[in-house]
Every structure is written in C-alpha cells, then in structure tokens.
Amino acid sequence: MDATQVPPAPTIGFDQFLAVDIRVGTILAAEVFAKARKPAFILTIDFGPAIGIKRSSAQITDHYTPEALVGTQVAAVVNFSPRQIGPMMSEVLTLGFPDADGRVVLVRPDQPVPDGNRLF
C-alpha cells in the first residue's frame, strides 16, 4: 500500500494536536550517518533560545546532500522522547512526506521564519 492509500487517523481533539510541539529550526550541520542501517544523515538543528540545538537522524539521502541542507530550515517534533538510533541519540523528529516513490521530501517553510516558531 502506498502512502496515498493509507486511511486517515482517528479524529482527535484540538488539545491533542497542541500536545505535539512542531517547531522550525535551521540546519547548522549535516553529515552522513555512516553507522545507520539505512542511508541517513545526522542533522544538527538550531531551534532558537527556548529549545536550543538538537540532533536528528533523518533518512533523507535520496533528495538532499549535506552541503545543500546546511542553512535551510526544517520542521520537527521537538517534544518526543529522545530515541536511540544506532550509536546516536536522535532528539527530535524531522518531518517529511513521501514522494511518489516513497522517498522523503522535507517539510520546510517557503519563506524564512524565526527559529523556534511553533506550527499552528
């Protein structure tokens, strides 16, 4: 089943949506995650003074290079518990959608916004 055929999730209340803290941050560094089981990058992302700098493992190697990612903004969930991914601790979940072939396309603002701003 491709991603367009996945049924919608159950209806939730607005308070449940607000419990998921999605913020924008600027990628400060991106490097190949050589020890990952699937091709991935380790991203270092600045979410501004309230959240700070966090790291994320992201399987986004099909459409992006580390050099092209540095300085760009991405959206991420910043209030999930950290998750051990191989030898690194992923602190945030960088968000993306699958393209027609299932490769990740990042969720990014189309204009610069202040780091740390929350999605609403």
What is the per-residue pLDDT across 26-83, written as a single tens digit (0 to 9) for each? 999 999 999 988 999 999 999 999 999 999 999 999 999 999 999 999 999 999 999 9
Q: What is the mean pLDDT of residues 4-18?
A: 91
Mean pLDDT of 83-90: 94
pTM of the model: 0.92
Percent of the chain with pLDDT over 70: 99
What burial class does residue 43 get, using C-beta atoms within 10 Å of its C-beta: 0-12 exposed, 13-18 middle, 19+ buried? buried
Residue 1 has a pLDDT of: 60
- Between the two ends of the chain, the Cα-to-Cα distance in Å is 30
- Fold classification of 19-106 is OB fold (Dihydrolipoamide Acetyltransferase, E2P) (2.40.50)
Which secondary-structure segment (H or E) carries 48? Answer: helix 48-51
Q: What's the full length of the chain, in residues?
A: 120
Residue 17: strand, helix, or coil: helix
Residue 4: the pLDDT is 74
